[in-house]
Structures are given as C-alpha cells and as structure tokens.
Structure 1
Amino acid sequence: MDKLRLLEVFVATCDAGSFAAAAKICNTDPSTVSKAIGRLEAQLGFTLFQRSTRQLSITATGSRYADTVRKLLQDLSSCEHELSHLNDSPGGTLRINSAACYGHLYLQPLLQAFCQRYPAIKLQLEINDLHVDIIDNDIDVALRTGFVKDSRLVARRLSPMDFLLCASPDYLAARGTPRCADDFVQHSWIGFRIKQTQQLQPVFLPDARGEYRLYEVQRSHITDDGEAMAAMCVDGLGFAQLPHFLAKQGLQSGTLVSLYPYYRPPQPDNGVFAIYPKRDYLPTRVRVFLQFISNALEAAGESTNHTWAEGWPALINFSN
C-alpha cells in the first residue's frame, strides 16, 4: 500500500473512530486497516492511536498529524479538480507553428471563426518554414508538409499533398501548349529550392500511359518561397508544379490552368500533417483545434486521403 493510500486510510480511521467503520469507508476489511495504520506508525516512528479491547482513541500527536494530512489531501484534491477542469475546458493558450504557405493560405483564414467559437482560447501563432523542436519549444501543434519520425510525437495526416502542373493562360497563349513531356524542354520553368536541404524540388510528368515519372528540366527561375513561386507562375514566367494549397487560388480565379491531372507522391510522409506531443491526455484546446481544422478542410473538399485536386479538370489528356 503506497503512502498516499496509507494517509487516506488514516484519515478515514480518524473520522470513523474504529478500524471496522474505517474498513467500510475504504471498501476493505478491518485487518487491512489495522495493518495499514501499524505500517504508517512504523514509518513515522510515533503512535497515532491508543488501542484497547473496547475503543480506539487518537493520540495528541496523531491529532496534530491528522490536521496536516487532511489539508494535504484537500489541497491535492483541489489541484486535481482544477487541472482536470482546465484540461476539459477549451481555454488557455494554444501555441501553433505552421509552415508558411499553408499557414497563410489555409490556416489564417480559419482563425477568426475558431476564436469566435472558442473565445477562452488565446493563440500564439508562429508561421515559418523552420523545423523547430516541438517539445523543446513548448508547441501544442505544428502544421507541416511531411514529418520526421519521432517516438515523442503524433503525426496526424490532415490531407495528402497533391501537385498540379500549372501555367498562366497568357503564357500558354504566347508560348504554346506542350503536347507531351518532351515538349517541355522548350519552355521556361520556375523551380522551388527546399530551404532545409537547398535542393530543388523534383518535377514529375506523365508518360503516354499517364504514369508520372521524374523528369529533368532546366529552371529558368528559382525561389525558396512557395507563394512567390505561385505568383511568378501567375505572372507568366513559366511552368510550376505547385502543391494543391498553392495552386488553389489561381486555378479558381482562372489566372492559372492545370495541364495534367494531379500527381500524388507515394511516400508515406507525403501530406499535410498536424504534429503534436504524445501524451496520455490531450488538452481540450488541442483536441477542439484539430477537430475544427479537420471539419473546415472537409467542407473544402479535403480529408485524410483526399483533396479537391482529384476532381480538378486538366487542360490536356495523357493521350494527347
């Protein structure tokens, strides 16, 4: 029996006045209560109760000790109740870290509605492309494209990350529309440089059967900013293979067109993920945020295994 349980039995014995009555309170038997009190007295080195065949009476030392133990147990219970309330109520500070493009285009437009629904939650929002240590930086949830395996973290996929090969209508009018992959060597390309590795994002194009393959192209322009890449494509500087969340606004407004159906990398870490520390009890502020953003994405045609890009019309077919 641990020390906390011994103290609970001690207080029950004080209140009940006998081992038998205390046993009923503690849902055990009188012998167990008697042994527990004896074990506690042995640990303390002083007598808590005077025992006789007819009655049990607390000593002066035991009475003084009981006052302290009662306060300790009450403080512990109050603390547990308060922490449980905080954990169960959608309040407190929610610390979010998001990849820049996704944060600007997908997350930020949702924040007003989230704060209106949960006014007790205060946001601390970091938007950058730095892969920070979530635990060391006390971050509740990070929104990232891809993830690194870490036994301390949970990676929950919000959606796949689909890529669309885009160009502006003006660029196609001026330079012509490629009919097959080999035609792209005659065109300008906008490349994306990955900040962490300094490598260029690979380009995948479909062959005659519609199977996407790695394709080497010469980039006329290079940027390490996704939104700049999309803007350069809208401005007619060349083709760009854009993630669906970067291509969405241009495609919907008609300032971009998609040449081929979407491409989805097969790797298990492909996608947009909500990443958060692994813990026994997920704070309610984190749980309601994850549910809120999942519902918002579903309303926009995205879920764990789908994006709106699956149904977006392509300008040309694979057979053309």
Structure 2
Amino acid sequence: MDKLRAMELFIATCEAGSFAAASASCNTDPSAVSKAISRLETQLQVTLIQRSTRQLSVTDAGKQYLSTARKLLQELSACEGEIKHLNDSPSGVLKINAAVCYGHLYLRPILAAFCARYPDIKLDLQLNDLHTDVIDNGVDIAIRTGYVKDSRLVAKRLSPMDFFVCASPEYLAKNGTPVLRDNFKVHRWIGFRIKETQQLQPVYLPDEQGEYTLYDLEASHITDDGEMMVAMCEDGVGFAQLPHFLAKAGLESGKLISVYPYFRPPQIENGVFAIYPKRTYLPAKVRVFLSFLTDELEKHKESAYQTWAEQVVCVR
C-alpha cells in the first residue's frame, strides 16, 4: 500500500477515533487500516497512535504528523483540482508552429474570432518553413504540409494539398496557353525550393491521356518563399505550380488562371496536417483550437478529404 493511502487512513483514524470507523469511511476493513498505520510507524521509527483495548490515542509525534499529512493531502488535492480545471477549461499559453504561408493566409484571418471566443488562451504563434521538433520545443500544435512519422505524435489531416498550374492573364495573352506539356519548355517557369531539403519541388503535368505524372522542367526563376512565388506569377513572370492555399486568392480575384484542373498527389502523406503530442488527455486549449480551425475550414469547403479546388474552372 502506498504512503499516500496510508496517510489517508491515518488521518481518518485520528478523526474517527477507531480503526473500525476509519475503515468504514475509507471503504476498507479494520485490519487493513491497522496494518497501514503500523507500516507508517515502522518507516518513521515512532509511535503515532497508542492502542488499547478500549480506545486509541494520538501521540505527540502522531499529532505533528497528522498536521503535516493534512496539509500535504490538501495541497495535493488542490493541485490536482487546478490541473483538472486546466484540462477542462480552455486557458493558458497555446504554442502554435505553422508554415509561413499557411499561417498568413489561413490562420491569421481566424485568430481574432478565436481569441474573442477564448479570452483565457494566450497565443504564442511561430511561423517558419522548417519542420520543428514539436516535443523538444514544447509546441502544442504544428500546422505542416506533409505527414510526420513519429510514434510520439498525432497527425490529424486538415485537408489534402491540391495543386494548380497557374499563370497571370497578361502572361497568357502575351505568350499563349500551352496545349501539350512539352510546350512548357518554351515558357518561363517559377520553381520553388524547399527550405528543408534545398531541393526543387517536383512538377506534375498531365500527359496526352490527362494523367498527371512527374515532369522534368527547368525553372527559369527560383524562390523559397511561397508568397513571393505567387506574386511573381501574378506579375506575369511565368508559370508556377501552386498549392491550393497559395493559389486561392489569386484564382478568386482573377489575377491567376489555372490552365489545368487541380492535381492531388495520391500519397497518404499528402496534405496539410495538425501535429501534436500524443497523450491520454488532450488539453482543452488544444482541443478547442483544433475544433475551431476545422470548423472554419469547413466553411470554406475544406476538410480532411476535400478542398474547394474541385470546383475551380480552368481555361481548358
């Protein structure tokens, strides 16, 4: 029997005046109460309770131990209550790590409404394009493109990641619209360098049967910033293969035109994921943020299995 349980039985005995009464209040039997207190006395090498055939009396050492034990258990109970409240009530610092573009385009527009609904949550928002060790850096939620294989983490897919081959209306008017994918070799192309690997993002274009396959295309220009790539494309610098969350504003405003229907890589790791530490009890601040974010995405026709990209009309 652990010491905390023995302390509880000792306090109950002192308050009730007998082993029998203490056992009844603690849902055990008198012999278990007596043995627990005897173990405490053996560990402490003092007598806590004087036993006689008629009554029990608490020794001076027992009274001192009783006072301390009460305080300890009261503080422990209060601490447990506070921890449970933190898990039940959305509050505290919520540390979010997100890719720069996704943070600006998808998180920023919803943060004011989230903070208004949950005023006791304080945001610590970190934006960068490098994968961060969630556990070592104390991150509550990371929003990342691509699946993370780590048994310590949960990866909840927020949406697939759909791609568009885009250009500005001005570029197409001046340079024409490619008919076959080999035609792209005579057009300017904006490549995206992945900061994590320093490799160029692979390009997928449809073949004559409309099947998207990997295509070797030399980039005319290269950037490692997604918003810069969009801006260059909108400014008529060349074509770009853009993920749906980067292409959204340009397609809606008409600054960008998609020359093909969207492409969705079939790999299971494709998508935008919310990544957080695996635990038995998910903190309320994490739970409500995930719920709020998924609700907002659904308003814009995005979920774990679809995006608004399916409804985009291309020029073909």
Q: Same fold (TM over 0.5)?
A: yes
- The residue that corresponds to 1:29 in the other structure is 29
Number of corresponding residues: 316
Q: CA deviation at 1:103?
A: 0.6
Hey, what's the Cα distance between the residues in 2 that align with 1:185 and 1:9? Answer: 82
- The residue that corresponds to 2:129 in the other structure is 129
What does residue range 260-279 of structure 1 map to in structure 2 within 5 Å? 260-279=260-279
- The residue that corresponds to 1:79 in the other structure is 79
- Report the more deviating stretch, 31-40 or 198-207: 31-40
- Report the more deviating stretch, 35-44 or 189-198: 35-44
- The residue that corresponds to 1:203 in the other structure is 203
- The residue that corresponds to 1:194 in the other structure is 194
- The residue that corresponds to 1:287 in the other structure is 287
RMSD: 1.2
Hey, what's the Cα distance between the residues in 1 that align with 2:280 and 2:60? Answer: 43
Hey, what's the Cα distance between the residues in 1 that align with 2:193 and 2:130? Answer: 14
- The residue that corresponds to 1:178 in the other structure is 178
- The residue that corresponds to 1:99 in the other structure is 99
In the alignment, structure 1 residue 233 sits paired with structure 2 residue 233 = yes
Q: CA deviation at 1:301?
A: 0.6
- The residue that corresponds to 1:144 in the other structure is 144
TM-score scaled by length of structure 2: 0.97
Q: CA deviation at 1:148?
A: 2.7
Q: CA deviation at 1:76?
A: 0.6
SS of equivalent residue, structure 1 residue 315: coil
Q: Deviations over 1:178-217 (max 9, x none)?
A: 1121222221111001111111111101122221100111
1:171 is matched by which residue type in structure 2? Y
Q: Which runs of 5+ in 1 are unaligned?
A: none
Q: CA deviation at 1:8?
A: 0.7
1:38 is matched by which residue type in structure 2? S
Hey, what's the Cα distance between the residues in 2 that align with 1:128 and 1:203? Answer: 23
- The residue that corresponds to 2:111 in the other structure is 111
Q: Deviations over 1:42-72 (max 9, x none)?
A: 1111111111222222112111110110011
2:75 is matched by which residue type in structure 1? D
Hey, what's the Cα distance between the residues in 2 that align with 1:285 and 1:32? Answer: 42
Q: CA deviation at 1:304?
A: 0.7
Q: CA deviation at 1:109?
A: 0.9
- The residue that corresponds to 2:314 in the other structure is 314
- Report the more deviating stretch, 278-287 or 73-82: 278-287
- The residue that corresponds to 2:156 in the other structure is 156
Q: Deviations over 1:77-118 (max 9, x none)?
A: 111111221222111111111101101111111111111111
Hey, what's the Cα distance between the residues in 1 that align with 2:79 and 2:214? Answer: 58
Percent identity reads 68
Hey, what's the Cα distance between the residues in 1 that align with 2:288 and 2:172? Answer: 45
Hey, what's the Cα distance between the residues in 2 that align with 1:50 and 1:288? Answer: 55
2:260 is matched by which residue type in structure 1? Y
Q: Which runs of 5+ in 2 are unaligned?
A: none
Hey, what's the Cα distance between the residues in 1 that align with 2:105 and 2:311? Answer: 20
TM-score scaled by length of structure 1: 0.96
In the alignment, structure 1 residue 8 sits paired with structure 2 residue 8 = yes
SS of equivalent residue, structure 2 residue 119: coil
SS of equivalent residue, structure 2 residue 213: strand
